[in-house]
Structure 1
């Protein structure tokens, strides 16, 4: 199924040269993390939604777009070992979001770069999971995988006594006092 892109956005993305760069914002989140890891594919940190995104030269391949769940490879330099320690220390897959924004939405004359308005992503990939993570002192790599809706059981939840216990019947009232004999 083809993606719906406006004609002007498609021209800008497919042009040989442009005055604006495409910025990739990467969020790695997990319940065990105090706060999400936020990276931007840039040489200078950026501020977005009031949060600083750390500039990092990571590589994220384009997600597959076929009948299978979306997949891609992610490689992040383990520059100061924090990324590797954080990601490898997780006991379950981390949730990942990739967003593409235009540099035209940011003031590139200040450091860190700040938004000039309310930047809007023109491409977003949510609900990806980081699996098969490997790392060494130089590089942390993993596979991004989307949810496979075809493998989901239906119904997703079943009622059983532990999840939906039956109500205890109300106790019967004592018999009404009758006439004494």
Structure 2
């Protein structure tokens, strides 16, 4: 199925120069986290003065209207290669000594969702990837690199159950 892209995004992509800014929204969830982590790649608007924070307000994946907080990050969005599961990379600049605490607090994988929106209209989703998993987190004092993917379809159990009359009686009427 082809990906639908808004007219504004298509015009910005085709233009030699544009005022439109693509924003990557990231949502990280885990049962051990008290709250969902929402990150934005763009300081779309000032959210507060004390402390000074910027971020993006979007209705994507938010029930309570919480904003996506701006962090210095680079991202490689999930790819569409045929034989491999989608893979993404996030590189976060370490600006606070406590940024790595959530990464060290658990041994199970977190769920990561991505969306691409335009800063001028952050409620229109241009592309999204849901249900990916945080595979690894490596870092030093300067940056943290997060590797994100999903389990390959080849990890499905095989052989699967047989479609016999005893196992699936509704199938054989």
| Shorter-chain TM band | 0.7 to 0.9
In 1, the alpha carbon distance for the partners of 2:21 and 2:160 equals: 42
SS at match of 1:51: coil
Unaligned runs of 5+ in 1: 107-118, 158-181
**Matched positions, count:** 144
Other-structure match for 1:47: 57
Aligned counterpart in structure 1 of residue 96 of structure 2, from 75, 80, 97:
80
Which residue in 1 is equivalent to 2:50? none
Q: 2: CA distance between counterparts of 1:155 and 1:86?
A: 38
Alignment RMSD, CA only?
2.3
Give the structure with the larger strand fraction.
2
Secondary structure in 2 matching 1:27: strand
Q: TM-score, normalised by structure 2?
A: 0.73
Contact 2:3 2:127 in 1 (8 A): no
Normalising by structure 1, what TM-score? 0.70
CA-CA distance at 1:94 after TM superposition: 1.1
Q: Offset at 1:121?
A: 1.0
Aligned to 1:94: 110
- The 4+ residue runs of structure 1 with deviation greater than 6 A are none
Unaligned runs of 5+ in 2: 44-53, 60-64, 162-173
CA gap of 1:29–1:155, structure 2 versus 1, over 3 A, is farther
